[in-house]
Amino acid sequence: PVAEREEVDRWVISRLNTLVREVTDLLSNYDLTKSVRAIQDFVVEEVSNWYVRRTRDRYWTSELDNSKKAAYLTLYEVLLTVAKLMAPIAPFTAEGIFWNLTHGEKESVHLELYPVADESLIEPDLEKRMATVMDVVTLGRACRNKVQIKVRQPLPKILVDGNIRKIVESMRELILEEINVKDIEYIEELGDYVNYEVKPNFRVMGPKFGKDLKSIGNALRSMKPSEVVTKVKRDGKIEVEVQGKLFELKEEDLDIRIQELEGFTFEMSNGNFVILDTELTHDLLQEGLAREMVSKIQTMRKEADFEITDRIRVAFSGPDALVNAIESFKDYIKEETLSDTIDFDESLDNGTEWNLNGHNTLIRVKRV
């Protein structure tokens, strides 16, 4: 039963039924473009990039317990329903998916009834919470991209809006893992970490407000820049009162400049913000090297066409910094890569050459 499945399962089932309702309404109004976009965004962003990625450990676990059964059943139900949803739009692709899922036991997707949303399975609060968490993760990754720090490199912490503390805490471990940070802190005032400058965008505001532009500019200067930006980002507008008259300003009306404080980087979207602490300590750098080592070994396993359950032996050579990092995280690397041994071999000459965060190394993997 859906009610007995894990939260992430219930979330994607809820989103599926919300999608069915939305697509049915759009198709009823002959809006093909929006219906296709809705299906595409759901499959790519929510099912593939979020649900499947968040659930992969449950797919790979050796024990066929209720969690694994629920993960497979949920994905099956999602894909089968999506095939039916897209059948009028992409008939041959939908038929192929449908036949693969049903093993040809049913004649055709085009002889099935079109999906109907089950309102009892829609959980608006859960959808809202997960959307907020996905937004925080997206912003955290955008921060990393801005300063070009790989996701595999752990960082100290992120800082988020205290107003979403309850939502973030309910999925704290998920966020820590997705952004790869050690802690989450909550702040009320952005100005402690970001300097704002807000001015009128004269090219846009001039034609709109004419002689009132100067007065609006003076009013903006009297307001706290961080509050102006937060409100505009959250509500899409801000109202400014000048001599008893209200003027509505949108983001394009403003010239917003953001200067991050040293050691932090900042991103904001949909009223949410993330500030990423980018200070790299010795321990964090070592852990980053260990994670890079895991990634390279996994790549070599795949290229050697090893079975997922095959045990291996690893030999490597490299500088002292890399050796020290691998020694510190040897148990973690062995567990992640199914390695019985990980040995340093200074004379190694027949391995694969890699660069791990600036450290050149040779790695050799052998099946046990």
Does residue 210 register a pLDDT over 90?
no
How many domains does one find in the chain?
4
Task: Examine the domain organization and report whether 174 and 199 are in the same domain.
Answer: no
Q: Mean of the pLDDT values across residues 114-123?
A: 97
Confidence at residue 346, expressed as pLDDT on a 0 to 100 scale: 86
Full DSSP string of 328-365: HTHHHHHHHHTEEEEEE-TT--SSEEEEETTEEEEEEE
Confidence at residue 92, expressed as pLDDT on a 0 to 100 scale: 97
Task: Examine the domain organization and report whether 227 and 332 are in the same domain.
Answer: no
What pTM value is reported for the model? 0.79
Domain end (from 251, 280, 309): 280
How many angstroms separate the CA atoms of 317 and 337, rounded? 18
Burial of 314-329, coded b for 16+ CB within 10 Å and e otherwise, reads bbbbbeebbbebbeeb
Does residue 272 register a pLDDT over 90?
no
pLDDT tier at 99 (50, 70, 90 boundaries)? very high
Task: Examine the domain organization and report whether 348 and 209 are in the same domain.
Answer: no
Confidence at residue 88, expressed as pLDDT on a 0 to 100 scale: 95
Task: Examine the domain organization and report whether 160 and 275 are in the same domain.
Answer: yes
Task: Examine the domain organization and report whether 158 and 268 are in the same domain.
Answer: yes
Residue 356 φ/ψ, nearest 5 degrees: -105, 100
Task: Examine the domain organization and report whether 308 and 270 are in the same domain.
Answer: no
Q: Tokens at residue 146, please?
A: 């801005």
Confidence at residue 35, expressed as pLDDT on a 0 to 100 scale: 96
Of the candidates 294, 327, 258, the residue with the CA atom closest to the CA atom of residue 154: 294
**Contact (Cβ atoms closer than 8 angstroms) between residue 220 and residue 233:** no
Task: Examine the domain organization and report whether 25 and 109 are in the same domain.
Answer: yes
pLDDT in tens, 38-67: 999 999 999 999 999 999 889 988 788 999
Task: Examine the domain organization and report whether 227 and 180 are in the same domain.
Answer: no
In which domain, by residue range, is 321 found? 283-367
Q: Mean of the pLDDT values across residues 72-79?
A: 97
Does residue 271 register a pLDDT over 80?
no
Q: Mean of the pLDDT values across residues 228-247?
A: 83
pLDDT tier at 256 (50, 70, 90 boundaries)? confident
Task: Examine the domain organization and report whether 108 and 30 are in the same domain.
Answer: yes
pLDDT in tens, 140-199: 999 999 999 999 999 999 999 898 999 999 899 999 999 999 999 998 877 777 787 888
CATH of the domain at 340: 3.30.2320
Does residue 122 register a pLDDT over 90?
yes
Write down the mean pLDDT value for the chain: 92
Domain end (from 280, 315, 333): 280
Task: Examine the domain organization and report whether 228 and 172 are in the same domain.
Answer: no
Task: Examine the domain organization and report whether 171 and 199 are in the same domain.
Answer: no
What one-character DSSP code corresponds to residue 303? H
